[in-house]
Amino acid sequence: MLSVAVIGAGRIGQIHAANLAARAAETNDVRLAGICDAVEVSAATLATRLGAPVISLDEALEGKGSNAVLIASPTDTHSDFIERAAKAGKAIFCEKPVDMSAQRIEGVLEVVEAAGVPLFIGFNRRFDPNFASLRARIADGRIGEVELVTILSRDPSPPPVSYIERSGGLFRDMMIHDFDMARFLLGDEPVEVHAVGSALVDPEIGKAGDVDTAAVLLKTARGKICQISNSRRATYGYDQRVEVHGSLGLLRAGNQHETTVELATASGFTADPVQNFFLERYAQAYRLQLAAFIDCARGTTLPSPSGHDGLMAQRLADAATLSAQSGQPVRL
Contacts of a second copy in 46-85 (CB under 8 A): 51
Work out how close the CB of 248 gets to a second copy at its nearest, in angstroms, rounded to a whole number. Answer: 6
174 forms part of the interface with a second copy (CB under 8 A): no
User: Which residue, 73 or 231, is less far from a second copy as judged by CB?
Assistant: 231
Residue 153 CB partners (closer than 8 Å, separation 6+): 174, 175, 177, 178, 228, 229, 230, 239, 240, 241
Could you say whether residue 104 binds a second copy (CB under 8 A)? no
Does 139 interact with a second copy (rule: CB under 8 A)?
no
Task: Please give the helix or strand (H or E) that residue 60 lies within, else none.
Answer: helix 57-62
Contacts of 138 (CB under 8 A, 6+ apart): 146, 185, 187, 244, 246, 251
- Asked if 214 is part of the footprint of a second copy (rule: CB under 8 A), the reply reads yes
| Positions 275 through 304 that interact with a second copy (CB under 8 A) | none
Verify binding: residue 266, a second copy, rule CB under 8 A. Answer: yes
SS3 283: helix
Q: Does 245 bind a second copy (CB under 8 A)?
A: yes
Is 130 a binding residue for a second copy by CB under 8 A? The answer is yes
Return the residue of 31, 87, 104, 257 that touches a second copy, per CB under 8 A.
257
Tell me the C-alpha distance between 73 and 248, whole Å. 44
C-beta separation of 6 from 35 below 8 A:
yes
By the 10 Å C-beta count (0-12 exposed, 13-18 middle, 19+ buried), 154 is classed as buried
Cβ proximity of 95 and 17 under 8 Å: no
Question: Under the criterion CB under 8 A, does residue 192 sit at the interface with a second copy?
Answer: yes
- Taking the complex as a whole, how short is the minimal distance between the CB of residue 208 and a second copy, in angstroms? 16
Regarding 260 and contact with a second copy (CB under 8 A), the answer is yes
Question: Which of 180, 239, 309, 318: binder of a second copy (CB under 8 A)?
Answer: 239
